[in-house]
Structure 1
Amino acid sequence: MSDSAMPVTAQTLAGAVRAAFGTDQRVVSLTRLPGGSRKGAYRLRLADDSTAVAYVWDDAENYWPDSGPGNDDADPFAPATGHALFESAHRHLRAVDVRIPELYLSDDTHTYFPADLAIVEDIRGPGLATILRERAQRATPIMDRLAAALDRMHAQTSPAFGRPSAIARGRLPDAESCEELVFDRARTDLAEAADREPSIAAAHDRLAEALAALRAAVAPRTRYALIHGELGPEHVLVDAHDEPVLIDIEGLMFFDAEWEHVFLRLRYEDYYSHLQSRDLDDARMAFYSLAMHLSLVAGPLRLLDGDFTDRGAMRGIIDHNLGKALRFAA
């Protein structure tokens, strides 16, 4: 995080660009990319007309309340922000041959800018969200390649769950299992959502009963898969060879693959058949579905407490998941 507030400009990133690309290189123009609620992403156009992207982890770029560096990284659901999580995730995904932007410069010493910084490959062209919406014929082979990448990730397992960097340091979640952690989190999400949404408040007791019943049906497990955790279409870019490129990777963790698949099923809808796995536990899928919907109501409501700019999109996420959650209370 930052030592002091400094605007992100061609001038303030000049030293970082020279370190990444050579002393003759300079920034001609800089544009902040849309989206992103925990870090700033800026497209840099360089003197030779090439481009790159700068990631900046600064308090000024973080729209989420209470998600600074003091959060416990042993909790895989703590806010996924920061240079250390990015570097760890980058290493793990490269190790399993999953396509991510090339890393040109990584600095958490604040040598070049008074905030943690990375400069990465710029993947141009339409992202997967646009392709799914506008170019369905092109989407099929890309989705199949994304499925293969997910298979490689999920084949990497650990006897412990949590963020890889935390596990490596022996820092494990307090919960004894993924389902226990999800259950505790879902009850918190339910309570917070009930405080702000009258329809959730009216159904609170029935939703709490549904959560408990679904949790009770989940059998124990002792190995966990490497998952992205929030792999919506907006977190998949597509390179010039139609290879899917994963971004916003800081939330990478060892966890139940069902948690990933519940999110994928929710976000990809008609295209989920390309990603669907036969090695999933139905009881976990049902339990995690309700927990995920509650999370996607409570989380965006927390975000709207701040000054996040795209409030209409967040409200849309809330309303969609509100309806899905309430079906469990019927």
Structure 2
Amino acid sequence: MPADRARERAFPVREHLGGIVRDAFDGRRTLRGAVRLRGGSKKGVYRLVLDDGSTAVAYAWDESENFWQPAAGPGPDADDRRDPFSPASGLGLFVAAHRRLTDLGLRTPHLHWSDGSRRRHTADFAVVEDLRGPTLETLIRADPAAARPVLGRLAEGLAAMRECRDPAFGKVALLDEGGASRGVSCERIVLDRALADLAEASQRDPRAAAAGTALHDALHEAFDAVSPRADHSLVHGELGPDHVLVDDRGRPVLIDIEGLMFFDIEWEHVFLELRFGPHYAALRTGGLDARRLALYLLAMRLSLVAGPLRLLDGDFPDRDFMTGIVEHNLHEARKLVGLGGDGPQVY
């Protein structure tokens, strides 16, 4: 879809933000203005300016705010929370994750109000604290010295999450309700997802198709080397430095938490290392399974090819950024199976 289609999208939930403010603050506040913040791809994120000059942030879960297109062929079902990798979007997932992280003592934006009844509003909404501090990604680039203690506090939070364990795996909201995930193990779910991602990417990019046999065989070989595991740790699932805000006391604040789940800790750390790069050293931990890391690294690369390619089928606005993610991760996936790579390295 051409890039200029992004400018055509309407966001009808804007019309409801005044009512959201009245409900969230029991009629004590009115809306003076609202700005849709960049970055959200599954939900709308709006900064609300209130009549007393204070601000808050509204999250809106509505189809008009979701830039993702359905997967081609087998893949995560958006309505099936039994799949740990079904799209991490929805008020129920957010509230359960917020409660679990808060109980562990981890900082997330304070939740003022939420409503998923749809009796008064057309979408599911939450109103949370507006944190104006930078993302950890911005702080690392602007002032690495100031970022070091924040990274240290983030490492402490990750350690607390690792020690929060469950014999089951899956989304926190599902397990809290007594549900059970589909699949026999984390590693099998990752393998099946990676094979689906490879098939989907191969349909869209000839370089992925050309490497298909080598990537397919490498995935199976890595899977066969993994031994069973009895319990699982709490993981964010997509914890890059752009998903960590820094508050005015220098504390890391986790955002985009809907994907919180119990899973293999190696899945989290593969993503951390990819996204934090040289700063991952501050977050590194011992006792990780090298064989799981190998499987999950290749699977993660393929996920970061297929997912952005799907997003580019729609009208996601920051197309150059998404194209860069595809190019880099396809290059790296091919390198992992000894095929070299093509394209610029921009991610």
**TM tier, shorter chain?**
over 0.9
Does the Cα contact within 8 Å between 1:75 and 1:172 map onto a contact in 2? Answer: no
1:162 is matched with which residue?
170
Shift of 1:70: 5.5
Matched, 1:118 2:131: no
Alignment gaps of 5+ in structure 2: 1-9, 339-347
2:154 is matched with which residue?
146
Matched, 1:56 2:60: yes
TM-score by length of 2: 0.90
Bigger mean CA offset, 62-71 vs 254-263? 62-71
Matches within 5 A, 1:1-330: 7-9=12-14, 12-66=16-70, 71-330=79-338
Shift of 1:69: 8.6
Does the Cα contact within 8 Å between 1:227 and 1:255 map onto a contact in 2? Answer: yes
Partners in 1 of 2:68 and 2:25 — Cα distance? 33
Shift of 1:213: 1.1
Partners in 2 of 1:186 and 1:139 — Cα distance? 34
Partners in 2 of 1:6 and 1:304 — Cα distance? 19
Shift of 1:8: 3.4
Partners in 2 of 1:29 and 1:290 — Cα distance? 45
Q: Sequence identity, in percent?
A: 51
Does the Cα contact within 8 Å between 1:56 and 1:115 map onto a contact in 2? Answer: yes
Which AA in structure 1 matches 2:98? H
Q: What is the CA deviation profile of residues 70-109 of structure 1, one whole-angstrom value per residue up to 9, with x for unaligned ones?
A: 5210101001111111111111111101100000011001
TM-score by length of 1: 0.95
Alignment gaps of 5+ in structure 1: none
Which AA in structure 1 matches 2:20? A
CA 27–69 in structure 1, closer or farther in 2 if over 3 Å, else same: farther
Shift of 1:322: 0.7
Which AA in structure 2 matches 1:19? D
Aligned residue pairs: how many? 325
Partners in 1 of 2:180 and 2:320 — Cα distance? 37
Which AA in structure 2 matches 1:124? R
